Structure 1
Amino acid sequence: MRTIPFLDDITASSIGWPAVWAAWAPVTPYGLRAKAAHRPFLPGEEEAWQAALTELAADLTAVADDPLRRAREGLRALPDVAADLDILLRGRPLAARAALALKTFLRVGGDLARDPDLQRLRWTHAAAWHRLLEPFGDAGASFSVDSVADDTYRLLRRRLAEASVCLARERQREAERWRKEAGVRPDASGLLRIPVPAGRAVAERLKAEPGVRWRQDTPFESVFECLPGPDVVRWTAEVASCRAALAEAEERCMARLAEGLRAEGPVWRRLVDDVASLDLRLARVALARRWGGCAPEAAGADGDLDTGPAGGRASGHLPSIELRQGVHPGLGERLAARGGRVTPIDVEVAAGVNVIAGMNMGGKTAAVQLVALCQALAQHALPVPAAGFRTRLFACVRWGPEPERPDIDGLSAFGREVARLTRIWHDMRAMAPHPALVLLDEPGRTTNPREGEAMAVAWAEALREAGPARVTAVMASHFSRVAALPGVAHHRVRGVRLDRLPPPAGGPQGCDPPADQPRGGDSEAGLRALAEAIDYRIERVEGGGVPEEGIAVAAWLGLPDEVLRRARAALARERMTPEGPADAPAGERMGPVPKGEEGRG
């Protein structure tokens, strides 16, 4: 059976999920591993989801900016002991390097556990960190076997030190004797190098000495190996014996330490999990601070479905999704880098079908992306880039049609759109009886306008008939029949405020300039003025309909008068067609239903 993901690749890419997911940035290997295993909450997990959202909201209140910064710096100082801990708990020997890493983990983690600002989060038990650190002997930043040694080890250390001193003294004596006899001291390799011809007589004499062994003659020197005397031999053997015994004693000490640490295996596992949890929680707080965001809220069970007429808000019921002052972080950060700003979005999405109408470049797509993104974040119990977000759990979130891309699979844009929407439909049906969230951005745009509009209407009607218990859909469209469809919730982007546009050269506001004069949008400054004149806010409307702003904007941008006159005339003729005005309900514009089609959904 095909596994149906909560977000598929096309949806994730379309709403900007990869960049947002990457922005949730734990700083420890423990947190990164926990993040990789993190999955969204799904229908049936409401209780656990509510607990996670409650914890997030409490964390946002409890952790101030300075403690957050200090805590994340402390987490960065934690070593990754996963491999060392695995070796320890498997019963294998514990190396000094691994012991140092485990001790550092306990020391740094214990400091975090005792931090009064973090104790508000109740993320761990400070006593457990202290108890596991005790077998290491001290709380210093280094580790030495001396701190866990027994009396035998300490005695062998003293014996080794004494033998090493005696050996060094005897070697010094021998080196001084050779200096007196040969005029030079042995080098670090124990070789005597007698220069010739000045020292030829000394070299010839040394060749007969029993305490040295002749190695070679060169044109410049004679080389001899100094043989150790009996005292050097005796102390060398003593040092070697002490070292061997000390190594055995060290192994016994480390084995005792490992045995004591191994006995606390479950506690070690819990502390590692505590660190991973703290890292994820603080990364959530940092993400909320970056966005100026908030913790999502779960809609109550009685408020999940909106049963008002035409998708309207019914008395005593909440909308399926409620977004307040939301800003898509990707869009916000890009515009901020260019000195621009984003208009925060408020929108209430009813359970069932919602249509957002408005002109192109009015922000419909961005609004739909924001709703989908906030939903995905909420179901992962992550903060949302908004002042408020209230929702329920969906089995999957799907975006369609697929964004435009090069033709690499032999399918036309229309073919890809049909394939994508068909996949969404099958996923939605497979998730039944659990609800799906479907986001449709201008469906029908890849074929001719007449058939495209018919397909968009058909999609809205099919989703409407599926029922609010199975699907919540948000469709951005500028098709008039979609925007006027009965039985759905209608929204509209407020659009261009023509009164905010600077007057075109040569005439007052609202008048066309002379043909030989430049128009308002004929410059980069003019395009910026147009963007600033657009009101991107979304409002709930009754009856739907597409606002007609395109020709007015085209005139301001400088469309030739010859084209403008014809566009206005064509629009006037269309308003007089038998199908009725553009904002009439769909049933009034489509004419009579063909015979045999009565009663079909």
Structure 2
Amino acid sequence: MFMMRFMDKKTFQETGLREVLDWVPTETEYGKELKSKLVPYGTSQVRELRRAFEELRRFRKGLKSSDYFLWNLKGYLSEIKDIKGSLQRVMKNEVLNEVEFFEIKNQIMVMEELRGFFMEHPEVALEKFEMDSVAPLIKAMDPENSRVKTFYIYDSYSEELWNIREEKRNIDGKIMETDKKSRQEVYELTGLRPKPNNEILVPKEKKQALGILKNSDLVFFLSETFKSYVFKISPTEELKDLREKYQNLKIREEEEEFQIRRRLSQDVRNFHDEIQKNIHILGELDFSIGKILLGDEIHGVEPRIVGDPYIKIVEGRHSLVEQRLRKEGKSYMPIDVTLENGVTLITGANMGGKTITLKLIALITAMAQLGLYVPAKEATIGPVSFIYFSSGDEQSQERGLSTFGAEIYHLKKITDEKKEKGLVLIDELARGTNPKEGYGISRGVIEHFKTLKGISVVTTHFDGLSRIKDLRHLQVVGLRRVQPEKLKNELQHGEEGIGVLEKYMDYRLEERDPREEVPKEAIMIARLMGLREDILTRAEEVLERERQEQGIREAKEEENKEGE
């Protein structure tokens, strides 16, 4: 799709970016192709990205000033067909056919109309929409200045063609006269009127007419049916001669038309560069309108673009999730998040939206770097060199890897990117293995991420990771601000457990002290949903013992570090 170095196929699909790009409407194949080859602005292209948003802002302002503008521009674009194949043929010195000339003539006339439209309406005329004139080519393809977008090889294309067609018309008239004369003679002899194809149907009971026709040189016997005989008018020598002349003229006409098409193909070839430039502009125009319409659809805003890798999202929304919730009659809770160079740890209960938060961060960052409006109230984005998202539950069937193996396979590639200022988003790091090893691997990976230049965000349920030095800790608010008795009361009155939890779950993030433990809302949720109390009590005892042992281990680690 676009630069795979920036975002691999898995991240492209899982974050929802592929579907969001599908939402960008395009009228033309040129706009669709431009979208399919879209490349994000990199860390060294901050000025170019700012300029792209400035242009889009000006164009949007112009479009919004009158419905007339959007209606007209979409009307022009709806007439556009893909003529790139014909242009490739003409550059190989091939001669185009009449259908191709029709499509080219129609398109270059639209190009010239658009040039005039932008001259008349500077409020929507961006510099990048300035097309080259193709008026001389239009004149060559429309010698009679009819201004009609259909294509026909007019008599006026050459004197030779005019003479041939004039002679054809004269001979055609003589053929009709000769044919009419023969038909009249048959009618006068028999009282029978020939069909348009010069066949005469003679009922078998009409003996007199039958006898006349059998002995006449005017007709010849064709066939016999159960009730009648069929004759056909014989062409006279004069008619044969006229038809032969007519066929010879048709051959000469086709040869002359071929020479005219050859000449017009050369004319198109001479304007190849101008047409190609204008085709690119048509794609830009189409895609720019699509970006604005997408922005309207998702209630997007223009992100502020800054230099270093940086992300600040105010009331951000994941458009795909928001759309799904809207269809279910539910509301979406926007989130705020600020990320800078370094590692941020996000903790919180299951069902707390941590995975969606990571996808949201990836989606908004990628959309900004692609020059799209983003689904948020405000957004400030410093471009990154790549985006990597790991869902933690992936498997690689092609490589025969388990969930954990697939995660490590991708992690290896990311941890080697020391020079790149990327955005790494990992959901539930190392959850595919046993907790003790998972904790150790997670700690090692996070320590390594601290040495990288970009932004890393990791969600986890492992205790102790938030106490790693120079680590930022964000926590999902979750159910902490809801009275347990209120939840329990609703659950006891028969409401569905999941629905109640979704109703009160607060998906927003808040900064927490790194020394705070990972919240244990899972036990609270299990208790509220009615799991046996003896099971929950035992779980709490195990957790407390594990917490104490973890504290002892961490204290020893600190002592060892100080001793070194």
Contact 1:402 1:420 (C-alpha < 8 Å) held by counterparts: no
Q: Is the 8 A contact 1:522 1:557 kept in 2?
A: no
Aligned mate of 1:534, from 498, 501, 505: 505
Give the residue type in structure 2 aligned to 1:590: E
Which residue, 332, 344, 366 being the options, matches 2:334? 344
Give the distance between the partners of 1:187 and 1:325, measured in 2 at CA.
81
- 2:358 is aligned, of 368, 371, 374, to 368
Partners of 1:599 and 1:229 lie apart in 2 by 121
- Per-residue displacement from partner, 1:465-508 (whole Å, max 9, x unpaired)? x24x2x3200112322122322112212122154377836xxxx
Alignment of 1:92-107 (within 5 A): 92-107=94-109
Amino acid aligned to 1:443: L
Change in 2 beyond 3 A, CA 1:108/1:598 = same
Pair 1:590-2:561 in alignment? no
Deviation at 1:78, TM superposition (A): 0.8
Residue 336 of structure 1, CA deviation: 0.8
- Mapping of 1:39-54 within 5 angstroms? 39-54=39-54
Moved more, 71-80 or 237-246: 237-246
Distance 1:75 1:599 in 2: 73
Residues 501 and 31 of structure 1: CA distance in aligned 2, closer, same or farther (over 3 Å): farther
Between 329-338 and 287-296, the greater mean CA deviation after superposition = 287-296
Q: Does 1:211 align with 2:218?
A: yes
**1:157·1:246 contact (CA, 8 Å) conserved in 2?**
yes
Q: Name whichever of 245-254 and 370-379 sits farther off.
A: 245-254
Mapped to 1, the partners of 2:253 and 2:113 lie a distance apart of 34
Q: Distance in 2 between matches of 1:141 and 1:448?
A: 71
**1:101 partner letter:** E
Task: Please say if residues 395 and 406 of structure 2, whose CA atoms lie closer than 8 Å, have aligned partners that are also in contact.
Answer: no
Aligned match of 1:87: 89
Report the Cα distance in structure 1 between the residues aligned to 2:61 and 2:53, rounded to whole angstroms. 13
Q: Is the 8 A contact 2:132 2:277 kept in 1?
A: no
Instruction: Note if 1:495 corresponds to 2:478.
Output: yes
Q: 1: CA distance between counterparts of 2:502 and 2:134? A: 57
Alignment match of 1:485 (pick from 438, 449, 468)? 468
Percent identity, aligned pairs only, is 24
Is 1:163 the counterpart of 2:179? The answer is no
Determine if contact 2:182/2:233 at 8 Å carries over to the other structure: no
Change (3 A) 1:119 1:153: farther
One-letter amino acid of the structure 2 residue matched with residue 174 of structure 1: S
Q: Distance in 2 between matches of 1:433 and 1:109?
A: 46
* Larger mean Cα displacement after TM superposition, 320-329 or 588-597: 588-597
Q: Distance in 2 between matches of 1:158 and 1:218?
A: 43
With 415-424 and 368-377 compared, the bigger mean Cα shift is at 415-424
* Structure 1 match to 2:161: 153
1:293 corresponding residue in structure 2: 300
Look up the SS of the partner of 1:40 in the other structure. coil
Instruction: Name the SS of the counterpart of 2:464 in structure 1.
Output: helix
Q: 1:386 corresponds to which residue?
A: 376
Q: 1:399 to 1:344 in 2, by over 3 A?
A: same
Unaligned runs of 5+ residues in structure 1 are 306-319, 505-511, 581-587
Shift of the 290–138 alpha-carbon distance from structure 1 to 2, 3 Å rule, reads same
Q: Partners of 1:353 and 1:191 in 2: how far apart?
A: 93
Q: Does 1:558 align with 2:522?
A: no
Structure 1 residues 159 and 410: CA distance shift in structure 2, 3 A: closer
Report how far residue 30 of structure 1 moved. 1.3
Alignment of 1:363-442 (within 5 A): 363-400=353-390, 402-404=392-394, 410-426=400-416, 428=417, 432-442=418-428
Question: Does the 8 Å CA contact 2:182/2:218 hold for their aligned counterparts?
Answer: no
1:566 & 1:345 partners in 2: Cα distance?
35
CA distance in 1, matches of 2:345, 2:456: 8
1:537 alignment partner, SS class: strand
> What's the offset of the Cα at 1:199?
2.8
Equivalent residues of 2:31, 2:284 under 8 A apart: yes
Q: Deviations over 1:524-543 (max 9, x none)?
A: 3x533321212211123343
TM-superposed CA distance for 1:572, in Å, is 5.3
**Deviation at residue 35 of structure 1 after TM alignment:** 2.6
- In the alignment, which residue of structure 1 is the partner of 2:250? 243
Residue of structure 1 equivalent to 2:495:
523
Q: Are residues 130 and 535 of structure 1, via their aligned partners in 2, closer, same or farther at CA, if it must alter by over 3 Å?
A: farther
Q: Distance in 2 between matches of 1:352 and 1:291?
A: 30
Change (3 A) 1:100 1:58: same
* Range that drifts further, 324-333 or 210-219: 210-219
What's the counterpart of residue 125 of structure 1?
A: 130
Q: Distance in 2 between matches of 1:35 and 1:12?
A: 14
**1:444 touches 1:456 (CA, 8 Å); kept in 2?**
yes
Single out whichever of 7-16 and 266-275 deviates more from structure 2. Answer: 7-16
Q: Residues of 1 paired with 2:405 and 2:284: CA distance?
A: 45
1:40/1:379 contact within 8 Å kept? yes
Offset at residue 354 of structure 1 (A): 0.9
Moved more, 148-157 or 355-364: 148-157
SS at match of 2:133: helix
Distance 2:6 2:254 in 1: 57
Per-residue deviation at 1:284?
A: 1.5
Deviations 1:216-261 (A, max 9, x none): 4555333333212244334434533543444344344444433333
CA-CA distance at 1:37 after TM superposition = 2.6
Counterpart contact for 2:473–2:514, Cα < 8 Å: yes
Does the CA contact (< 8 Å) of 1:43 and 1:434 recur in 2?
Answer: no
Cα distance in 2 for partners of 1:266, 1:420 equals 44
Report the Cα offset of residue 20 of structure 1.
Answer: 2.2
Aligned mate of 1:476, from 459, 472, 478: 459
Structure 2 CA distance for partners of 1:336 and 1:223, relative to 1, 3 Å: same
Q: Distance in 2 between matches of 1:129 and 1:388?
A: 43
CA distance in 1, matches of 2:156, 2:443: 78
CA–CA separation in structure 1 for the residues paired with 2:477 and 2:403: 30
Gaps in structure 2 of 5+ consecutive residues: none
Partner residue in 2 for 1:585: none
2:22 is aligned to: 22
1:259 pairs with 2:231 = no
Distance change in 2, residues 1:235/1:413 (3 Å): closer
Name the amino acid aligned to 2:147.
Answer: A
Is 1:330 aligned with 2:338?
no
Q: Are the aligned partners of 1:490 and 1:544 in contact in 2 as well (CA < 8 Å)?
A: no
Deviation at 1:6, TM superposition (A): 1.9
How far residue 365 of structure 1 moved from its aligned partner, in angstroms, is: 1.2
Q: Which of 97-106 and 235-244 deviates more?
A: 235-244
The answer to whether the 8 Å contact 1:457/1:482 transfers is yes
The corresponding residue for 2:343 is: 353
In the alignment, the residues of structure 2 paired with residue 28 and residue 176 of structure 1 have an alpha-carbon distance, to the nearest angstrom, of 58
Instruction: Give the Cα separation in 1 of the matches to 2:283 and 2:47.
Output: 22
Instruction: State the 1:264 CA deviation.
Output: 1.9
- Secondary structure of 1:193 counterpart: strand
8 Å CA contact retained: 1:352, 1:463: yes
Taking a change above 3 Å as real, the CA distance of residues 4 and 179 of structure 1, as seen in their structure-2 partners, is closer
Q: CA deviation at 1:367?
A: 0.8
Change (3 A) 1:90 1:281: same
> Structure 1 residues 118 and 403, CA, compared in 2 at 3 Å: closer, same or farther?
farther
Cα 1:599–1:151 shift into 2, 3 Å: farther
Q: Higher mean Cα deviation, 66-75 or 490-499?
A: 66-75
Please say if 1:223 is aligned against 2:230: yes
What is the letter of the counterpart of residue 122 of structure 1?
A: E
More moved, 449-458 vs 152-161: 152-161
Q: Tell me the number of residue pairs that the alignment of Structure 1 and Structure 2 aligns.
A: 553
| Whole-angstrom CA distance in 1 between matches of 2:409 and 2:93 | 56
Q: CA deviation at 1:571?
A: 5.0
Match of 2:446 in 1: 460
Runs (4 or more) in structure 1 with deviation over 6 Å come to 594-600
